[in-house]
Amino acid sequence: MQTKMYEEKFILNAARLDLSDENIAVLKDVSSKNIDWNMLFQKALFNGVSTLIYYSLKKHNLTHILPDDLFSKLKEIYCRVSLQNLKFIKKIHELSRMIEEKTVLLKGGYLIQCFYPDIGIRSMGDIDILVDKKKALYVWNVLKSHGLENRGELPVFSKSAVHERVIQRQHLDHLWSGDCIVEVHQSIFENPCFDYITKKAMESAVPLGSNNKLYRLSNTFFLVHLCNHFYLHNYMYKQKGSNLRMLCDINEFILKRTLHIDWNEIEKTCSISELKNRMSTVLTYVNFFFQTPVPDNFLMQNMLTKHLTTALLDSDMTVLEKQNRILSLFFLRLKSFNKNRHRFIFVFRTFFPSRKWICHKYNTENNKGVLTGYFSYWADLLSRYVLNRKVQ
C-alpha cells in the first residue's frame, strides 16, 4: 500500500465497528504525529464517516487521543445524526402504513434499523424503497395521495433526454415529506438489461420482523446492491461525497454476514461481464483499504498492483480508475433502448451533447464559450478513452 498522509491513515484505521490491536496501535502512533486535525475532520465529514469514527473511538476508549474541540464536534454531529435517523425511522413506518404492496428497504433504511448497533453510526440522505416494477407508479401515486410532494426531479444535467433515462431509470421522481426525501425504486440497477436480477432480488427478499409489508434483500442480493450503488456513484456518475461511508457499509456487511453470503450465487448472478467487473472492482477496493478477505475470483490483481490510491478520500477525486471495457458498457447501454430513434439520439448526443449540458459542464454561456466547451469535451473524450489519460 502506498504511503498515506497521517490524516488518511487515521481515518482508514478508525472507520470500523471493531478495531484490531493493529488498528489501535496505528491510531495511537499517528495521533502523536504532526497531524492536521482540521483536515482530518473535513475529510471524515466529506466522506460521511465522522459518526462511525466517533462511535468506534468511544467504544474502544480512545477518545482521549483526539483534541477536545474535535471530540466535541464529532459528538455534536453524532447526536444530530441520531435525532435525524429517528425521524427517518418514524417516516419509514409511516410509509409502510400507506403502502399495501411488498416494500423492500434499500441502503441506509435497512442498515440503521437492523444492521448497525447504534442509530447514530450512519447518516442517511433519503429513504430508498424498492417495489415491483409494474406497481412502482401506483405506489408513487399512493404516496402523493397521502400528502408527499413531487417538487420535480432534483437538478440533473444530461447530454440528452435519452441519456437522462439511462441515469434515472432506477427510481421515479423524488417525493418530499417534510425534510425527508423518498425515492421509489423500480430496480436496483440503472440498466433494464439487469431487471431479471432485480426480480430475483424481490422474490428472495426477507420480511422485517412481524411486519409482512416491509422487507429487506437477502444477504447475497444486498451485497450486490451495495457494491453496485458504490460503483455507480463513484465510477459512472462520479458523484462526490460519502464515498468511504459506502465502502464502510460494504466492508462491515461482509464481516458481519460472511457466513451467510453465498459467493457462488453472487458469481452466478454476476455472470454478465459488466456486473462481474463492477463487483470485482468494488470488492478489490474493500480488500485494499480494509484488508478484508474476499474470494480470489473477485480480486482484480491489476488494480492491486497499479491503480489503487488513497484518492478515495480526496475531495477532488476521480475515484475509480477506468478499466479497458468502455465500449462494452457503451453497447450495453445502447442495447437497453427499444426504439432505433432513441439509439440514434444516444449515439449522436454522446458526441454532440446538448448545449445546456456543455454550458453546465464547462461553465460557459456565450456562443464563443459554448464552441470552446464542445472542443474541450471532444479533447476530454480523446484523452480519457483513446489516450487513456486522467482528465481533471
What are 20-71's pLDDT values in tens digits? 999 999 999 999 998 999 999 999 999 999 999 999 999 999 999 999 999 9
List the Cα angle 50/56/57 in 5-degree steps: 90
CA distance 157 to 326: 21
| pLDDT single digits (tens) 298-344 | 998 777 655 555 556 654 434 344 444 566 667 766 776 778 888 88
* Domain chopping of the chain, boundaries: 6-326, 327-386
Res 167 pLDDT > 60: no
| pLDDT single digits (tens) 116-145 | 999 999 999 899 999 999 999 999 999 999
CA distance 5 to 247: 19
- Choose among 381, 379, 345, 376: nearest CA to 360: 376
CA distance 364 to 356: 9
Q: At what angle do helices 50-59 and 6-14 cross, to 10 degrees?
A: 70
List of residues 6+ apart from 278 with CB closer than 8 A: 227, 228, 231, 235, 270
